[in-house]
């Protein structure tokens, strides 16, 4: 490991990277790796390079193990002039994270977490998740031949359970408060030598920096004004913002985009605190939204996300399920099928424009965090139909109908 430390995001207490530390023992806030101050992009053959190699200066490892890669990252940044015009902004881009090995951005953090676990000599890894973190850690655990523990909540739908089970981890349905499970897992990890890669684990957050790095490169360093991130635990949004900051430190950018934290109004603890100008989040009561991937009522990085948004001069916004479903449909019309949580940024752009928070000259990137096929129950919310006819009538059917 390079000479670098973990720092508490609140009180700045330092911790070694040579052990699996996650949260500060003084204030219980998340830890974060020190900011990188010097580094460059390692330009090479992108057809076989990994994100960990290309951006190795921005990770604390002296060498990386490419054998555990599944080809994560390097996802498309899709431009839509049509939607920019329809929504009344200068330009709109979609960072399509559904094109990752397990169909969400989570793979970026998983690979970094596992690199760290291997460096520390762990043979066991784990995560707590009912969403995309679970299949991601299970898949990478398989590839790396690590014993993998996945804790899910008891009432998880079979639709979500089997895509985890297929990788054959030790999959455990836990009966009880899901919020407590995060903290419980850290204790269990310590006692049983399991490296937990949870939603806002410091090295998982590091993986999300590569979303920012790729956006910079894909836009030839002509920076967007805003990057909109659907937010639950707060790990991804923190990583993306940190990535931009580190590229600026290294002289690759002169300006960091403003970050928009987009939540579902059925579960918006970060937005609620932001709206009330609070410093700390409160637990969202009776969370309910179609955007299950961002339904964390008490996000472990909620307070840090609030601090980050303030520093960054960003915005928090919450959108309704109706707006989310509408945006999921609009995205599909430009060929991108994201899960409901991933449609939240577009709904946020629409809302902010309508509320005049956006003026119309902005260049905006929406992060489409995961695939629509992750949650097929959302099909019901759309008016989907197919026509039907006999083969010998097909020719006249087409002529008459279209
Ligand atoms: C995990 C996830 C999020 C939220 O990311 P956090 O780091 O928990 O804030 C958003 N969208 C999708 C599809 C996810 O899987
Ligand atoms: Zn602290």
The string of pLDDT tens digits covering residues 220-235 is: 999 999 999 999 999 9
Task: For 154-290, list the strands marked E by DSSP.
Answer: 170-174, 194-196, 226-230, 258-264
Predicted pLDDT at 390: 97
Ligand 1: does its nearest atom lie under 6 Å from the Cβ of 236? yes
Over 80: is that where the pLDDT of 309 sits?
yes
Predicted pLDDT at 381: 97
Please check whether the domain covering 77-103+202-381 is classified as CATH 3.40.50.150: no
Residues 83, 92: contact at Cβ < 8 Å?
yes
- Indicate the top mutation candidate among 179, 339, 370 to test ligand 1's pocket, ranked by most ligand atoms within 8 A of CB: 370
Close Cβ partners of 139 (under 8 Å, ≥ 6 residues apart): 70, 101, 102, 107, 110, 167
pLDDT digit string, tens, across residues 9-54: 999 999 999 999 999 999 999 999 999 999 999 999 999 999 999 9
Predicted pLDDT at 38: 96
Give the nearest ligand 1 atom to 238 CA: 7
Predicted pLDDT at 159: 84
Ligand 1: does its nearest atom lie under 6 Å from the Cβ of 230? yes
Q: Tell me how far the alpha carbon of residue 30 lies from the centroid of ligand 2, in angstroms.
A: 8
Over 80: is that where the pLDDT of 173 sits?
yes
Ligand 1: does its nearest atom lie under 6 Å from the Cβ of 50? no
The sign of the dihedral angle between the CA atoms of 255, 109, 321, 77 is: positive
Domain ranges of the chain: 77-103+202-381
Alpha-helical (H) ranges within 228-384 are: 235-249, 269-275, 302-312, 321-333, 340-354
**CA nearest neighbour of 80 among 275, 283, 334, 274:** 334
Predicted pLDDT at 78: 98
Three-state DSSP class for residue 57: helix
Distance of CA 111 to the CA centre of its chain: 14
pLDDT band at 156 (very low <50, low <70, confident <90, very high): confident
The bound ligand whose nearest atom lies closest to the alpha carbon of 15 is 2
Two tokens at 396?
């006249």
| 160-175 mean pLDDT | 96
Give the closest residue (by CA) to ligand 1 atom 11: 369
Ligand 1: does its nearest atom lie under 6 Å from the Cβ of 294? yes
Over 80: is that where the pLDDT of 179 sits?
no
pLDDT digit string, tens, across residues 252-293: 999 999 999 999 999 999 999 999 999 999 999 999 999 999
Close Cβ partners of 355 (under 8 Å, ≥ 6 residues apart): none
Residues 256, 226: contact at Cβ < 8 Å?
no
**CA nearest neighbour of 273 among 264, 263, 282:** 282
In the chain, the largest separation of any two C-alpha atoms, in whole Å, equals 75
CA-to-CA separations, 132 to 22, 138, 269, 301, in angstroms, rounded: 20, 10, 20, 17
- Indicate the top mutation candidate among 103, 110, 132, 301 to test ligand 1's pocket, ranked by most ligand atoms within 8 A of CB: 132
């Amino acid at each position: 490991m390079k000479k670098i430390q973990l720092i508490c995001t609140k009180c700045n207490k330092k911790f070694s990277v040579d052990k699996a530390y996650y949260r500060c023992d003084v204030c219980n806030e998340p830890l974060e790796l020190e900011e990188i101050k010097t580094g460059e992009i390692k330009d090479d053959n992108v057809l076989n390079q990994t994100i960990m190699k290309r951006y190795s200066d921005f990770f604390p490892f002296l060498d990386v193990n490419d054998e555990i890669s599944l080809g994560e990252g390097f996802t498309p940044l899709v431009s839509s002039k049509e939607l920019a015009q329809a929504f009344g902004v200068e330009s709109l881009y979609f960072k399509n994270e559904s094109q990752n090995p397990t169909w969400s951005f989570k793979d970026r953090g998983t690979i970094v977490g596992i690199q760290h676990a291997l460096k520390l000599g762990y043979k066991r890894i784990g995560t707590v998740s009912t969403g995309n973190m679970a299949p991601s850690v299970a898949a990478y655990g398989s590839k790396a031949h690590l014993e993998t523990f996945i804790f899910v909540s008891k009432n998880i739908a079979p639709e979500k359970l089997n895509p985890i089970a297929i990788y054959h981890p030790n999959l455990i349905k836990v009966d009880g408060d899901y919020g407590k499970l995060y903290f419980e897992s850290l204790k269990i990890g310590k006692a049983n030598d399991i490296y937990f890669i949870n939603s806002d684990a410091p090295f998982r957050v590091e993986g999300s920096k590569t979303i920012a790095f790729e956006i910079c490169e894909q836009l030839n360093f002509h920076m967007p004004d805003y990057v909109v991130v659907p937010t639950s635990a707060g790990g991804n949004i923190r990583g993306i913002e940190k990535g931009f900051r580190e590229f600026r430190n290294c002289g690759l950018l002169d300006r960091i985009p403003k970050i928009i934290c987009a939540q579902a109004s059925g579960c918006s603890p970060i937005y609620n605190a932001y709206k009330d100008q609070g410093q700390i989040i409160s637990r969202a009561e009776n969370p309910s939204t179609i955007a299950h991937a961002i339904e964390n009522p008490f996000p472990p990085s909620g307070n840090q996300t609030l601090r980050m948004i303030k520093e960054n001069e960003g915005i928090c916004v919450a959108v309704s399920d109706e707006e989310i479903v509408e945006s999921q449909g609009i995205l599909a019309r430009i060929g991108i099928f994201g899960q409901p949580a991933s449609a939240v940024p577009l709904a946020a752009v629409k809302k902010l424009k309508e509320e005049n928070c956006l003026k119309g000259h902005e260049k905006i990137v929406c992060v489409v965090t995961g695939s629509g096929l992750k949650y097929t129950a959302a099909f019901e919310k759309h008016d989907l139909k197919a026509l039907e006819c006999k083969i010998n009538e097909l020719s006249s059917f087409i002529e008459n109908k279209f």
